[in-house]
Amino acid sequence: MLKLIQSRSEPPVIILAQDLSESVGAALAQSDSSAYMRSLDEMASKLEASFTVHRIGFGEKLSTDNPAWIFDGKATDMGQFMQYVGDFYKGQNVGAVIVATDGSINRGRNPLYVDAALKAPLSVIALGDTTRKTDLQIRNVFHNSIAYAGDKFVVQVDLSAVNLQGISPTLEVRSIRDNQQTLLERIPLQVESNSWFQTRDVIIEATSSGIQRYRLQLSHADNEVTYSNNVRDFFVEVIDGRLNVLVLADSPHPDLRVWRSALISQRNYAVDVVMAQDFTSADLKQYDLVILHQLPSARWPISALLDDMQKLEMPKIMVTGMQTDLAAFNRSQQVLQIDYAANRTPNEVTMVVNPAFSLFKLSDELKTKIETFSPLISPYGEYTTRPSATVLGYQRIGRVDTQYPLIITGESGDVRTCVMAGEGIWKWQLFDQVQNGSTAITNELLGQLVQYASTKSDKRKFRVIMPKNLFTELEEISFRAELYNDNYEPVNTSEVTMQIRNEQGQEFLYTFNPQESAYSLNAGRFAEGSYVYTATTDLNGVRHTHEGRFVVQPVQLESMTVEADHGLLRQLATKYGGEVVYPDQMMNLTDRILADDTIKPVLYSTTHTRPLINLKWLCFILLGTLTLEWFLRRYFGGY
C-alpha cells in the first residue's frame, strides 16, 4: 500500500463592502470624495498584497463581481448584505469584514437582527454626518392606490422640520397632466419648535380617469441642507368603471336591501332599487347589469323588458321566489329549467358549495361557513341545467344533499346569466352578522356573482397582460402576451414585437420570447414617467395590435434621511468584535489587520491510500529490476 499526502494553502479572505446608495454619494460630495476613493483603493491594494480581497457593493441590490464604485442606489438594504455574507462565506477562511456606510437603512431587515454567524471581526468605516441639519421635509405620504371618478379621497402627509422654529411655510397640492401643473390647494403651516412634526390630511377630488399624478411641495426655507425632500410625487389610479346596477323587484322585500348594501360596500357599484310597476324600458340603457328579484311574475311578466335586455345584450341575475312565474322564468333564460307541475309548496334549502366550481374564487371561510347559514325558500320541482351551465352551489334539503342547483351561472354568446333559485338571503346576512360579527361572507358571495355577471368575455385573438399599471423605479416591468388562432387555440409561432414610448417621444423596441403556449417579456427597469406601449404580431396574414400604458413613479427613500446613523454602526461593530473608524483612519485599520497574527492561511491536507498494484509504472520498474537481477546472476554464474 502507498500513502499519498496532498496539501494546499487557502489565504484569508478580506471582505471590503461599500454602501453605493445616493445618501452616501451626497455625503461624499460635501467633502473630498476623490481623496476618500483614493484611500479606499489604496486600502484594497495594500490588503491584496497579503490576502484575497473580495469587493462587494450594496444599496438597493448586491453587486458582488468587483463592482464599480458608483453611488446611484435608490435604497439601502444592509440586511441583504449581512445575509449574503453569512450564507456565501460560511465555512470559508474569512479574516475580516470591512463595511463603509452611513448607517441610513431604509429597506429590508435591520442588520443587527440578521444572524450572519460571522467568526471574523466586522469593522465599519463610518461615513456621513450625524449632526442634525436644518431641514424642512415631507417625511411620508399615505394614500389609497385606487380611487373612483367623482369621489374624494384623503391623503395623509407627515411633515417635519429641524432647527426652523418660527417659520411659516406653505404646502402646495398640485395635479400634473401632460407636464402641465394645476394648483389644487395651498395650505399654510406654522413651525412651532426646532423639532417639529405634524400630520395633515389633504382631500383631493378624483375628476379624471386613468393614472393621475399629484405633487406635494413645501416652500423652501433658508439654509436647508437639501431641497429634494421638499417635494413628493404620488400616483393614484382613478377608475371610471363604476357599474350601474338595477335591482328590479316584483314587490318590496327584505332581500332587496341586502343586495344594495352588499354592492355599495364595495364602492364600485351604483345601485338603484326599483319596483316593476315604476320602471320603463326607456331607462334600461343607463344600466350595466339587472338583478331581477322574483321576476317575471304573474302581475309583472315584463316580456317587453326582457326582449329589450336581449337586444342590448345585457347581463342579468335572476332570483326566484314565491312570486316568480316559473313558466315565464323558463322562457326568459337558457341556464336553468324548473318543472314545477302543479305543486307550489316551497322547499327550505341550505347551500353546499360545488368543489369543482372554478369560474371565480371563493374564500375558504365562505365555503366552510355558508353551509351553516339559515335556509332559503326555493321553488319545488324538477331542476334541469343546460350543458353549458356551471353550478356554484347545490341545494341541501333537510339533511339530504341533492343535485338541484341553488346558484348557477351560464353564458350565451358574450352575455352572462346567473340564477339564484331561492329567496331569503336577508336571513343569511343576519346569521352572518350574529355568528361572525360582520356581513363579509354574504357581501363576498353577492359581490362575486355581480362581478362575474357584469364582466364580458375577452374574445380578442391577441392581448398583452401586465401584472399592474403602476410601478416604481426599483421594479422590473414584465409583460405576458397571448395569441389565438381562429379556433381560439393558443399559438406562439408568430413573432411578437413591442414598442414602448416615453413622454419625450423616445422609443424602445423589444421582442417577446415564446414560452409554453404564450409569450413573455422582461423589459427591465424604467425611469420615472408615463409610458405608452404598442405590441404587434401577424398570424395567417392578419395583423394584430394591442395598446396600453403604464406609469413609473420615483423612489425617494434616500432623500428622506439627511443624518447618518453611527449609533447603529457601533452596535453592529460591537456585535461582531470589530471597531468603528472614520475615513481619515482607514490606513490605521489596514495596518491593524495586516499585523493581526490570528489572520492566517489555512492549510488543508488530504491523505490518499492506494494499492501499489494500481501504480503500473512502479510495477514495471520492479519487474525490470527483477529481470535485470536474474540476467546478471545467470551471466556471472551466481546460480
- Number of Cβ within a 10 Å radius of residue 348: 15
- Residues 282, 205: one domain? no
**Structural domain contains residue 204:** yes
- Residues 567, 513: one domain? no
- Residues 199, 308: one domain? no
Cell of 219: 416652500
**Structural domain contains residue 631:** no
Q: Which amino acid is at 169?
A: P
For 345, 487, 597, the CA distances from 69, given in Å and listed in that order, are 82, 55, 31
**Structural domain contains residue 67:** yes
Cell of 329: 322564468
Out of 454, 478, 497, pick the residue that ends a domain.
Answer: 454
* pLDDT, position 458: 67
CA atoms within 13 A on the CB side of 210: 15
* pLDDT, position 236: 87
Which residue range forms the structural domain that includes residue 287? 243-454
Q: Give residue-wise pLDDT tens across range 462-489.
A: 999 988 888 888 889 999 999 998 888 8
- Residues 488, 449: one domain? no
- At residue 474, the 3 state secondary structure works out as coil
The whole-angstrom separation of Cα 459 and Cα 477 is: 25
CATH number of domain containing 227: 2.60.40.10
The tally of domains found in the chain comes to 4
The whole-angstrom separation of Cα 348 and Cα 191 is: 67
Q: Which backbone phi and psi does 516 adopt, to 5 degrees? A: 55, -115
Q: Give residue-wise pLDDT tens across range 596-621.
A: 888 888 887 888 787 767 778 878 88
* pLDDT, position 343: 64
* pLDDT, position 211: 82
Q: What's the DSSP call for residue 540? A: T
CATH number of domain containing 515: 2.60.40.3880
- Residues 330, 351: one domain? yes
* pLDDT, position 638: 65
CATH number of domain containing 313: 3.40.50.880
Out of 422, 454, 486, pick the residue that ends a domain.
Answer: 454
- Residues 270, 408: one domain? yes
Cell of 113: 437582527
The whole-angstrom separation of Cα 335 and Cα 125 is: 73
Cβ-count burial 463-488 (b if 16+ within 10 Å, e if not) = bbeeeeeebbbebebebebbbbeeee
**Structural domain contains residue 636:** no
- Residues 399, 430: one domain? yes
**Which residue ranges of the chain lie beneath pLDDT 50?**
none
The whole-angstrom separation of Cα 291 and Cα 452 is: 13
* pLDDT, position 622: 86
pTM exceeds 0.85, yes or no: no
**Structural domain contains residue 98:** yes
Q: Dihedral of the CA atoms 101, 104, 110, 112 (nearest 10)?
A: 50
- Residues 142, 106: one domain? no
In 3D, which of 363, 366, 364, 327 has the Cα closest to residue 344?
A: 327
The whole-angstrom separation of Cα 215 and Cα 176 is: 7
